[in-house]
Structure 1
Amino acid sequence: MRRIASLVTCAALVGVGLVGITTTADAKTTPPNAAAASIKTSPYVALGDSYSSGAGILPQVAGSPGGCLRSTVNYSEVIAKTTHPAAYTDVTCSGARTTDFFTPQKTDKGVVVAPPQLDAVSKDTRLVTMTISGNDGGVFFDTFFGCAFLVRSPETGRPDPTGSPCKDANGDKYTKIIEEKTYPALVKALSAVRAKAPRASIVILGYPQILPPAFSPACFAITGISEGDVPWLLNQGKVANDVVRRAAAATGARYVDTATPSTGHDACSGPTNRWMEPLVAPVNALPVHPNAIGEAALASETLAAIGR
């Protein structure tokens, strides 16, 4: 926690408004090898989705596309402040999918939000970081938002914490999407980054823990996830992170496990301890997204993975 605290302090120099998902047992951060100390971090390009952009955390990067919600304290900004690359480009964007590496990112109405993220990568790039794939197939949005407060008691009309309404409605739908569609999409995206930046260290982070491992009424009140849906979502997260890990291994990228270190820092762990904000009354971050402390933690894990 001391390292994370120092990175939060570093982020504060940029300008900061500070205020369950688990991997498989073997899904560890790819360890730095003997060459880690010689990893070059410039030019540095940050790709990825809302977990990479620090969505909702103020202040936002001046001049960046409004829909991308890039924070001045997202984890790549913290990494850049720590490693001091001569060239740093942040093209992270909230809502990004793996397809947005190749084509312009658009809204549901077809309005262009940002150019293809791969446009920022070149043969000279030496470090690339990202979180990506959570939005593929609508998995993240349809589950954490679609499942919240899904059932209401017929007697009181209030949200009902019992049962497993999302699991009952969807079964293994989303884990099949992750295994059958997200995995090959990740391999394609990571392979494309490698093709454009053959000398780069490519680092992909897994997703941190949103929910604690056990249901509680207090957690239900701020996340809306019913008791029986908690283990269902935990398993889905395990599958999602394992797919990221396997795609990294298949393409020579470095995988950073963020679920293990985020244990105990989920959205229900209290406002001064959590790395993730809850669905109800989030503070300076989008709901079920990392806050500034969480972004600093992701930066810390990434820096350790590249030997910095």
Structure 2
Amino acid sequence: MSIQKDSREAEKRHRQPMLVRGISFLVIILLSIIVFGSAFLGNSFAASISPSQPTDLTASPGDKSVQLSWQPASDVTAYKIQTTDLATGTVSTSDLQAATNTFTVKSLAVGHWYRFQIIPLNGSTTGLPSSYIDVRTKGFSGSYSSYIALGDSYSSGEGAPPYTDATCARSNNSYAYQIGNGVPSPTMIACSRATTDNIDKTAQRSAGTQLQQLKSSSGLNNSIITISIGGGDIGFAPELTKCIVSDCTSEQSALSQKIADLKSRLIQVYEEIRETAPAADIFVVAYPLLVAAPDQAVCHNAITKSGLSTSEMTMMRTLATQLHTVVQEATLFGDAYFVDGVNTFQGHEACTKDQSAEWINEVTNSDIDGSFHPNQLGYAAYAKAVNASRNGLYTDGQIRLPNSTSTPCSTSTLTPTPTPTPTPTSTPTPTSTPTPTSSPTPTSTLTPTPTPCPTSILTPTSTPCLTSTPTPGLTPTPSSTSTPTPTPTPSSTSTPTPGLTPTLTPNPTSTCTPCSTATPTPGSSLTPTPGINAYNFSYGVDANDQTYLHPWFQPCGWSADYIILHYVIPGHAPENVYTNYSGDSNRWGFDMHRMHSGQILKYSFTYSYDHRQYDTTWYTWTQP
């Protein structure tokens, strides 16, 4: 009995360690499952989190490439770049890219439109793609498949008979037939008296609206489109008739409001054209000032001479300046390319002293509807201006952002002093088929789209008062054929050059004084003398958010005839624009939208007093 008991106790002692070891083993297995399972589940859960949407997609066009950059998204392990050929609709996606915020798409066609989107990934989980951006690569393929001319009488060729279609006043002397250099003969859809409604709502003829005719045109995937529109909306023809037969100056306020209200409608039309032909190069042709400056005008037609008073001519130029600005701003928002009408006809308006230098008709008795329209020389000048804008597009490429759903700010009523026009001494005959050069300097526009109207403007705490050197007798014709230096130059024909590092030149003889009490620089008088500092002014940039800014110029103790703003935003084409005058602040300014935080603006001004013109130095603004 004693032996059996000892044996059982020994067996019991042997089983206890084994049981402990077994339990420990099970505990280790359970802990391993918990630890490694949690990690696995954690990784699986993290990989299932949807990445955020990339924002602020921007682009820089190259000859056969496009550099993209964007704000990094969260919860992202990689990106894919989606590229859509807007001519063919072909969609391609790049290989998986590391979680960076820049990428260069290569091996693209020259002078071609593409659409890009950034697709974020977190493992195998795909997030919402970025908003798209359309980019035209630099260069020109050599020819277009088709050319469609849209718009009103300023595109149909009215004023330069004979007419191939009398109803629409279509003439082979129109600029559309003189562009050449890779541009085929146009499909002429433009028609006299067309308004914006004739583009997309109401047909003038049985063929349908101009937009319907555009949609049925062939070759839109490699096309050029031009359009002039808006003059008919404000009653161009009947209002001029009023001015000839009676005093029309009482109409100025109402006409100015019509022009201001036109902007959003123009944007809509330009965007509809872009949506119809996303792979086309689209050019908006602006109107001239129509008549020469009243103090220099000499009308040669008896009806014109007796029918237009000095005050009426002043009104016509003021309203034409406003219309030109509205068309230009709408072009920026509508993502088309701008063709300057004011500078094209500067010194060659109706009633220019030298009749042989007139590029715009006075009253024409034999073709009354052709009054105050370009003649053959005028349309040849328009063709040259279109080609200059083509050069700008080919040199810089173009960027288009998605259409905005916000309501664009309407243009305020303008009351600038009309641009003076010096008497021409000779008649430069414009080339009928200008040739784009291989390395032109552009005079084109930026490509933003509308953003919500700003509700307030932050005013800089101080701005330096500057002076510049006058040059007598120049005309406001900022040109695409010369390059400025970073210091003031006595010429209005300079165009900003990207990459310039401007320096500020403060007035050495005075401190910054509020313009309400400022006086001209000592040593000068109200009659500019070449070679001395002539006038004080203040300048600055107002901004109320990351997308809007307003460069401005304020004369100190004197009144300007006009102010031209020259500006460059890296990655966009240089631009020259007439600024808007505000009597409340005594400032001239220009609204710009769709800016990005950190974006750099380089800008300068050309200003005029007493028919003399001055250029400032270049300044730099960084968008907050």
Whether these two folds match at TM > 0.5 is yes
Confirm or deny: 8 A CA contact 2:297 2:351 kept in the other structure: no
Listed as ranges, the matches of 1:1-308 within 5 Å are 35-38=138-141, 41-61=144-164, 64=165, 66-79=166-179, 81-85=180-184, 88-106=186-204, 112=205, 115-122=208-215, 123-124=220-221, 126-138=223-235, 140-150=236-246, 165-167=247-249, 169-180=250-261, 182-215=262-295, 218-219=298-299, 221-223=302-304, 224-269=307-352, 270-281=354-365, 286-307=370-391, 308=436
Paired letter, 1:70: R
Q: CA deviation at 1:42?
A: 2.7
Give secondary structure in 1 for the equivalent of 2:356.
coil
1:192-226 CA-to-partner distances (Å, cap 9, x unmatched) read 10010001111001112311112468428452221
CA distance in 2, matches of 1:285, 1:147: 15
Q: Which has the higher contact order (CA 8 A, sep 6+)?
A: 1
Give the TM-score, by structure 1 length: 0.73
Distance 2:207 2:379 in 1: 22
- Post-superposition shift, 1:102? 1.4
Residue identity matched to 1:244: V
Deviations 1:125-151 (A, max 9, x none): 52100111100032x12332211141x
Indicate the SS of the match to 1:95: coil
Q: Indicate the structure with greater helix content.
A: 1
- The DSSP-based 3-state class of the residue aligned with 1:47 is strand
Per-residue displacement from partner, 1:46-85 (whole Å, max 9, x unpaired)?
A: 1010010111423323xx4x31011012011112x44343
Question: What secondary structure, in the 3-state scheme, does the structure 2 residue paired with 1:94 have?
Answer: coil
CA distance in 2, matches of 1:42, 1:134: 30
Q: When you count strand as a share of all residues, which structure comes out higher?
A: 2
Report the AA paired with residue 237 of structure 2.
Answer: F
- Return the alpha-carbon distance in structure 2 between the equivalents of residues 304 and 236 of structure 1: 26
Q: Which has the larger radius of gyration?
A: 2
Aligned-pair distance for 1:281?
A: 4.2
Equivalent residue number for residue 27 of structure 1:
none
Cα distance in structure 2, aligned partners of 1:284 and 1:148: 12
**Taking every aligned residue pair, what percent have the same amino acid on both sides?**
28
Letter in structure 2 aligned against 1:174: L
Q: What are the superposed Cα offsets for residues 228-255 of structure 1, whole Å, 9 maximum, x if unpaired?
A: 1222111100110111000100011011
AA in 2 matched with 1:305: S
* CA RMSD across the alignment: 2.5
User: What CA deviation, in whole Å up to 9, does each residue of 1:168-208 have, x standing for no partner?
Assistant: x224111101111x111111110110010001111001112
Amino acid of the residue matched to residue 300 of structure 1?
K
Distance 1:136 1:285 in 2: 16
TM-score (norm 2): 0.37
Distance of 1:183 and 1:119 partners within structure 2: 22
Aligned to 2:104: none
Which moves more between the two structures, 296-305 or 201-210? 201-210
Q: Identify unmatched segments of 5+ residues in structure 2.
A: 1-135, 392-435, 437-624
The number of residue pairs the alignment matches comes to 249
Question: SS of the counterpart of 1:305?
Answer: helix
Residues 1:284 and 1:38: Cα distance change in structure 2 (over 3 Å):
farther
Deviation at 1:120, TM superposition (A): 3.0
Q: Aligned partners of 2:339 and 2:295: how far apart in 1?
A: 27
